[in-house]
Structure 1
Amino acid sequence: MKNEIKKPPTESQTFAEYYESWLRIYKKGAVREVTFNRYQMTLLWVKRLIPNLVLRDLTRLNYQDLLNRYAECHEKQTTIDFHHQLKGAILDAVDDGLIDRDPTRKAIIKGRVPRSKKAKFLNQFELHKLLSALDLSGSLNWDWFILLVAKTGMRFSEALALTPSDFDFSRQTVSVGKTWDYKHGKGFVPTKNKTFSRKIQIDWQLATQFAAMVKDMPENKPIFIHKRIFNSTVNGRLKKLCVVSGIPVISIHSLRHTHASLLLFAGVSIASVARRLGHASINTTQKTYLHIIKELENKDVDLVECKLKSKSYLFYYCYELAVPVYGVSSCM
């Protein structure tokens, strides 16, 4: 048959050849295109680092050597991802009897020391200056887009996909259930996972403004898309606004960080911020905003210390524990 997949003999099949076939059979069409592209990148590294290694000869020793060589020019988290993308194929090969034992067992993950990463964001004063510089006098433009992202914390592709039907002005919410594929020009695509889909509460002023702007627009067409759009287009406009406002130049994604940071500083719980941002796990929020969380914890320590020194607090504490209060020392 013409369409029959020709496989090299099992004894001589290289791991790179097996992995390429495995991707085509198990992953192509089953995962998002962006995810499949990451698998393809892993395949390129396999071809580069172990082009001639026969599948049956894959052992713990040469697999560890593969990880070590990859880790020489990648950070640890990237190496972990590389390992996980290979492991699925390798375990299938073990199940099919192509490899005698699991060579990924007890693998040691190494990697370069990660560069210091700190989410760049504006403080409340700087954000106010930016929003004051927006031109909101006419029809929907990129200034309206910047305003929306700043006040909702949406991802760039999520905000691009918004249609009039996504707004519930009576309840003051915006529904996020899809994204816009601006990179490949494929239009609407589903969100990556269920946690990305959510309703975001907006303030009455933003609701009133957008109600007026979208009232005559088609219900299911994106409100910001009229032609092919690129991330650099919006970032270029944002850069000009930052320069005019005399504030640090940030990207559109940094507006998302700004939104989350200001919520955390305002006392909103990490769990609520995670839901609003559509993070897959609260751990993602904690890792991204670790520096802010630590700063807030330091403030909490000061607050607790201040409260503990307060006589009124000590009286209340003794009362709750039914301790006789004859003086501050009675409950200490």
Structure 2
Amino acid sequence: MINDTYNNELFCNYYAQWIEVYKRGAIRDATMAKYLMTQKWVEKLVPELKVSQLTRTVYQQLLNDYAKEHERQTTLDFHHQLKGAILDAVDEGMIDRDPTRKAIIKGKTPGTKKIKYLNQFELHTLLANLDIKEEVNWDWFILLVAKTGMRFSEALAITPADFDFSRQTLSISKTWDYKGKGGFLPTKNKSSIRKIQIDWQIVVKFSELTKNLPENEPIFAGNKKIYNSTVNDILTRHCRRCGISEISIHGLRHTHASLLLFAGVSIASVARRLGHASMTTTQKTYLHIIQELENKDVDLVMRTLSGL
């Protein structure tokens, strides 16, 4: 009877149940949304596929069909989100062998990527154009993200109590639920809980701004619903006025990291400052910059050796 149930169970139903049992409540809402989107694609591409029919060929065809409409990295994410459920099905005896073994990841050629970060001159121009008033506005927010490299949700959750102006540090230990009903949430991972150094300009400006604000209430997240697009639009208008590359708020995080790397700050230090779980994440994200720096290093090595 159990084998009959296994043989007849649709893969899309099994995957939906697997998400509810193993992922619901164990991962962040944003990650959960990705799994649910993968579920929808499974229902669209293989609505009649049974778990017992999953072979390497069938699974590869599923990946190929998905890859027709997605870039390679997106297809790789799709594969990873399916693989956990399929391996559990193998463990449960629903499938004889792992059909995901040696899967080949394909995908559409990536389109032209928008510039993700500013160079040092552009960032200086942007910051000089900000309208930093006596009261809190989104230009203050843009300044803080540019100077710290925080994630959008982390910056929204910053309170006056998070600043230690005497030691020139800022504690990042929470995020703001701007996609939901508001309120504080945990950070993306344990590595995201960190204390970073802030420069004297941030110390002077924010010590004055926050002196009369409630210690433990967020500086930027008020009672109104906050949309990422709202702040991005403000930043875009600044970029257009300045005649510089148009980037998003997340692009300011990339800008922050890129400038530090070009300045010679180690990958390990940049990874800690950004709250990355490992240096591998930093290396993958900023591979193009690291390669440029390595080329400079080669020139330096040759000049040094030729001078001996």
Report whether the alignment pairs 1:277 with 2:288. Answer: no
Q: Please tell me whether the aligned partners of residues 182 and 225 of structure 2 are also in contact (alpha carbons under 8 angstroms).
A: no
Structure with higher Rg: it is 1
Per the alignment, residue 65 of structure 1 pairs with 61
Deviation at 1:116, TM superposition (A): 5.4
Per the alignment, residue 214 of structure 1 pairs with 210
Q: Which moved more, 1:297-306 or 1:208-217?
A: 297-306
Residue by residue, what CA displacement relative to the aligned partner does 1:54-85 show, whole Å, maximum 9, x if unpaired?
Answer: 22222222122112211222222222221221
Report whether the alignment pairs 1:157 with 2:153. Answer: yes
Report whether the alignment pairs 1:302 with 2:299. Answer: yes
Let me know the Cα RMSD of the aligned residues: 1.9
Partner letter of residue 239 of structure 2?
Answer: C
Report whether the alignment pairs 1:292 with 2:289. Answer: yes
Per the alignment, residue 38 of structure 2 pairs with 42
How far, CA to CA, are the matches of 1:213 and 1:170 in structure 2? 16
1:88 to 1:120, Cα distance in 2 relative to 1, 3 A: closer
3-state SS of paired residue (1:304): helix
1:91 maps to which of 74, 79, 87: 87
How far, CA to CA, are the matches of 2:277 and 2:242 in structure 1? 34
Q: Please tell me whether the aligned partners of residues 154 and 172 of structure 2 are also in contact (alpha carbons under 8 angstroms).
A: yes
How far, CA to CA, are the matches of 1:95 and 1:9 in structure 2? 16
Q: Please tell me whether the aligned partners of residues 119 and 288 of structure 1 are also in contact (alpha carbons under 8 angstroms).
A: no
Per the alignment, residue 227 of structure 2 pairs with 230
How far, CA to CA, are the matches of 1:182 and 1:281 in structure 2? 26
Per the alignment, residue 204 of structure 1 pairs with 200
Q: Give the length in aligned residue pairs.
A: 304
1:235 to 1:106, Cα distance in 2 relative to 1, 3 A: closer
1:37 to 1:216, Cα distance in 2 relative to 1, 3 A: same
Q: Please tell me whether the aligned partners of residues 119 and 257 of structure 1 are also in contact (alpha carbons under 8 angstroms).
A: no
Larger relative contact order (Cα-Cα within 8 Å, sequence gap ≥ 6)? 2
Per the alignment, residue 325 of structure 1 pairs with none
3-state SS of paired residue (1:121): coil
Deviation at 1:53, TM superposition (A): 1.3
3-state SS of paired residue (1:200): strand
Deviation at 1:292, TM superposition (A): 2.0
How far, CA to CA, are the matches of 2:117 and 2:219 in structure 1? 26
1:247 to 1:59, Cα distance in 2 relative to 1, 3 A: closer
Partner letter of residue 278 of structure 1?
Answer: G
Q: Please tell me whether the aligned partners of residues 118 and 291 of structure 1 are also in contact (alpha carbons under 8 angstroms).
A: no
Report whether the alignment pairs 1:260 with 2:254. Answer: no
Per the alignment, residue 138 of structure 1 pairs with 134
Deviation at 1:43, TM superposition (A): 0.9
Q: Percent identity?
A: 66
Q: Please tell me whether the aligned partners of residues 181 and 187 of structure 1 are also in contact (alpha carbons under 8 angstroms).
A: yes
Residue by residue, what CA displacement relative to the aligned partner does 1:239-279 show, whole Å, maximum 9, x if unpaired?
Answer: 22223323222221221121111111211111111111112
1:80 maps to which of 76, 81, 84: 76
Gap regions ≥5 residues in structure 2: none
1:139 to 1:52, Cα distance in 2 relative to 1, 3 A: same
2:51 maps to which of 52, 55, 58: 55
3-state SS of paired residue (2:175): strand
